Amino acid sequence: MKPILNIAAYLFVRLADLPELRAKMLDQCNLLQLKGTILLTGEGINLFLAGKEKELRNFLEWLCADPRFSSMQVKESWSEDQPFKKMLIKLKNEIIRMNHPTIRPEEGRANFISPKKLQAWLDRGTDDLGRPVVMVDTRNAFEVDYGTFENALHFNIEKFTQFPKAIKAHKDELADKTVVSFCTGGIRCEKSGLFMREIGMQHSYQLEGGILKYFEEVGSAHYKGSCFVFDEREALEPSLDSIPVEHSIRKKLKTG
């Protein structure tokens, strides 16, 4: 077992006391010598943390003692070294900016599909009703370069605020398909799933837990490449190990 536990988690939930909550969380993280980034917003929390297993699990126990966070699900991976340089807790307007105020995941979720059910659909090529399945990548273009699902549709976007316009442009061609949107850990899909339903795409789902949860429960089936992550590890393989240095896109860009 590698010595450093890494967790990724989010939860859309109404939060009001952000400055006070930030101070309490920062005290706990510093006490337990954790590093990473936590985003606190009026619509919920998003966190990427790393540290020794006992200390990190103690933090999660402390955090989830607050009823607002008790249902939060955590994705885990392990590393040899601490992938973060410092501990940051930021206050934001949105967990992930979409610029669509009517999309409120904290008030209710879109339809979702589990990783294992998705694998069954992709193995067969259709959903349970025989409809063709199309995977839609909601991530930015540079993330897609690291890896994505086989034959996935992506829009070469540079930021998530461009997704609504992009999916609208493909709405008609996807009308007779079952659409499954996906992202790194599920956050963007909480909003993309609701948006697709809002514009009338009734046969749409979001992948529960994103690519990282799919790696954890399924592995590499129907996926090519790695998954970019927002820390010093750069990207994770379907085994949830860091990509080898020789495969690093960052290294290739730096060395030309």
CA distance 147 to 224: 5
Q: Using an 8 Å Cβ cutoff, are 206 and 214 in contact? A: no
Give the tokens for residue 80: 């040899």
The answer for residues whose C-beta is within 8 angstroms of residue 89's C-beta and 6 or more apart is: 22, 25, 26, 29, 37, 38, 39, 40
CA distance 161 to 104: 15
Q: Is residue 64 among the annotated active site residues?
A: no
Report the relative pairing of strands 204-207 and 178-182 from DSSP bridges.
parallel
> Of 29, 183, 189, 227, which one is the catalytic site residue?
183
From the centroid of its chain, how far is CA 47?
A: 10
Report the relative pairing of strands 44-52 and 4-12 from DSSP bridges.
antiparallel
Provide the β-strand partners of residue 153. Answer: 136
Q: Using an 8 Å Cβ cutoff, are 85 and 65 in contact? A: no
CA distance 169 to 252: 34
Q: Using an 8 Å Cβ cutoff, are 4 and 51 in contact? A: yes
The answer for residues whose C-beta is within 8 angstroms of residue 188's C-beta and 6 or more apart is: 96, 138, 139, 160, 163, 181
Catalytic residues, which ones? 183
